[in-house]
Amino acid sequence: MMDEENSHGEKIYIFDTTLRDGEQSPGATMNMQEKFRLAQQLVRLRVDVIEAGFPIASVGDFDCVKNIADNIRDVQITALARANRKDIDTAWAALKNGDNPRIHTFLATSDIHLEYKLKMDRDQVLELAVASVKQAAKYTSNVEFSAEDASRSDLDFVCRVFEAVIKAGATTVNFPDTTGYAVPDEFGRQIRYLMEHIPNIDKAVLSVHCHNDLGLAVANSLAALQAGARQVESTVNGIGERAGNTAMEELVMVLRTRSDQLPFYTDVVTEHIYPSSKMVSTITGMTVQPNKAIVGANAFAHESGIHQDGILKERTTYEIMNPCDIGLSSGSLILGKHSGRHAIKDRIQAMGYDGLSDEELNSVFVRFKELADVKKDMVDEDLEAIIMDEVLRVPEVYQLLSLGAMSGNKTMPTAAVRLLVHGKEVKDASIGVGAIDGTFKTIAQLTGTKSRLLYFAVSSITGGTDAQGEVMVRLECDGKIVIGQGADPDIVTAAAKAYLNGLNRVAYLQAEKEK
Ligand code: KIV
Ligand code: ZN
């Protein structure tokens, strides 16, 4: 069904579940504003379907899905629902104003899940799956059914279930490798079996959803495509439950780079891959490992002299992809302190961050100028850090006005901090084990907050002693775990900004909850 073909082969539908399965990564919760921002980025990326959340899970999740369905166009929005009336009604209530909204309902089919989790027999599961799809189909003609733990299920039973749910109105049937157990050859054979044994499979799109527990999610997804699947469920940076899901950027770039072997294409605008990856890691605080394929910091770095020499002579000697194709700029010198607003706006757009409002562009411009005054060479990474820092900032109930810190090996580390707290100026100073400890203590006193610092990391955005430092913290505050980020040429200031960013996120979550 819906096969589209062009000279590159058949179209593969990209179903993005960064906002749902991705958010199930430990510690990766995103607030409403961040989810909306990311959904806008996914539209720019031109994925086909955005799974915006699991509305029955919480009021917050419901509101996030509704906000996205109500306001985002030109992409199918879906939401997850277990196979029961309440979940499906709730999913629909959140989705109903969407553009071609899809209800995604799921039920396990493996004997392990039937016996221990559902305590149902196969006939009951079949009946419930059909009833749920019929109920969803009353609301929309765009219904997806997932057979949870399908890869460990009896295949003939999955065939029976898929045949029945397609008759009941499912237009996509999804075969998840929920536990990341499958290996590519086997997974491909399973998909081929479904293609050959479900009489009405031509009436639906066969989809796969792979987890990465054995590091095989992308390989399994590719094997499934070769066997007949036409939708892949994936996430940006491969984030997701446990070891994550199929990494969208890897799958898409394999299809693009090896179209000689794999006659498929996606509609993904690959030049938006890098900015999307950066946005996801900034929002979730889940940094990308340097050697990660496609978007890792080293993915296009050439260390050995022989390789560097080869690249200088002819890029393709050691590069199978052009970094520009994923939206990576050369990292070369860009603008300086005399650059105008227009030039900076053009550069931001050329880097793939083209959804910024005038107000956001203005604050990025001001920060850029401030940094250019103290930093000699401004490169794309500097601008990128400012964009992430400014644009993904939550409303600030705590704002840094000034910071003076003293440290050294023969002195008592002290920090004096001035803040705006709910619009009122407050100031204090503390002694700490080091300047950062003193700063955090003072901020805690001034804001009246109690939080536990779970994680602290500092990195340098570019080389050089005048480089911006980027600090990431993870805080536990009022039972919530949040991340906080800050960038500044002064590391203690970057740390203060990150800490305040975390506290502002807690306040924002609290305000969202009260609303
Ligand atoms: O991993 C899984 O099985 C899922 C389903 C809900 C699609 O996430
Ligand atoms: Zn999953």
Of ligand 1's listed atoms, the one at least distance from the Cα of 146 is 7
Residue for token digits 């909850």? Answer: 513
Residue for token digits 């989790």? Answer: 117
DSSP state of 252: H
Query: Alpha-carbon dihedral of residues 195, 201, 206, 212, nearest 10 degrees?
Result: -50
The residues near 140 (Cβ < 8 Å, ≥ 6 apart) are 92, 95, 101, 102, 103
List residues bridging with 357 in a β-sheet: none
Residue whose C-alpha is closest to residue 393's, from 481, 472, 287, 498:
498
Residue whose C-alpha is closest to residue 321's, from 296, 346, 342:
296
Q: How confident is the model at residue 513 (pLDDT cuts 50, 70, 90)?
A: confident
21 lines ligand 1 (CB under 6 A): yes
Ranking 159-163, 260-264, 288-292, 336-340 by mean pLDDT, the lowest is: 336-340
Torsion sign, CA atoms 173, 244, 263, 228: negative
What mean pLDDT comes out for the span 49-60? 96
- State the pLDDT at residue 405: 95
Torsion sign, CA atoms 268, 273, 276, 277: positive
What mean pLDDT comes out for the span 242-253? 98
Residue 1 has pLDDT above 80, yes or no: no
15 lines ligand 1 (CB under 6 A): no
308 token code pair? 């560097």
Taking the centre of ligand 2 as the mean of its atom positions, its distance from the CA of residue 247, in whole angstroms, is 12
Q: 64 with 58: CB under 8 angstroms?
A: no
Distance CA 109, CA 117 (A): 11
Tens digit of each residue's pLDDT (9 = 90 or more) over 16-39: 999 999 999 877 878 898 999 999
Distance CA 293, CA 382 (A): 23
Q: 185 with 216: CB under 8 angstroms?
A: no
178 lines ligand 1 (CB under 6 A): yes
- State the pLDDT at residue 330: 58
Distance CA 79, CA 68 (A): 11
Q: 55 with 93: CB under 8 angstroms?
A: yes
Residue whose C-alpha is closest to residue 158's, from 117, 100, 233, 208:
208
Taking the centre of ligand 1 as the mean of its atom positions, its distance from the CA of residue 81, in whole angstroms, is 11
Q: Which CATH architecture has domain 398-514?
A: 2-Layer Sandwich (3.30)
In a mutational test of the pocket of ligand 1, which residue from 19, 84, 106, 145 has the highest number of ligand atoms less than 8 Å from its CB? Answer: 106
Q: Considering every ligand atom, which ligand is closest to the CA of 149?
A: 1
- Rg of the chain on CA atoms, in Å: 25
Helix or strand holding residue 402 (H, E): strand 398-406
176 lines ligand 1 (CB under 6 A): yes
Residue 461 has pLDDT above 90, yes or no: no
In a mutational test of the pocket of ligand 1, which residue from 145, 148, 239 has the highest number of ligand atoms less than 8 Å from its CB? Answer: 148
Residue 50 vs residues 13, 21, 282: alpha-carbon distances, Å: 11, 11, 20
Distance CA 283, CA 287 (A): 10
- State the pLDDT at residue 314: 87
Of ligand 1's listed atoms, the one at least distance from the Cα of 20 is 8
CA 202 to chain centroid: 32
Tens digit of each residue's pLDDT (9 = 90 or more) over 59-85: 999 999 999 999 999 999 999 999 999
Taking the centre of ligand 1 as the mean of its atom positions, its distance from the CA of residue 310, in whole angstroms, is 44
- Residue 309: other Cβ atoms inside 10 A: 12
Taking the centre of ligand 1 as the mean of its atom positions, its distance from the CA of residue 148, in whole angstroms, is 6
- Span 12-284: which CATH code? 3.20.20.70
Distance CA 217, CA 246 (A): 5
Domain ranges across the chain: 12-284, 329-391, 398-514
User: How many alpha carbons lie under 13 Å from residue 134 in its C-beta half-sphere?
Assistant: 9
12-284 and 398-514 have identical folds: no
20 lines ligand 1 (CB under 6 A): no
106 lines ligand 1 (CB under 6 A): yes
- State the pLDDT at residue 394: 84
Residue 439 vs residues 116, 430, 442: alpha-carbon distances, Å: 51, 7, 5
Residue identifier of the C-alpha nearest atom 5 of ligand 1 = 148
492 token code pair? 């203690």
Q: Considering every ligand atom, which ligand is closest to the CA of 176?
A: 1
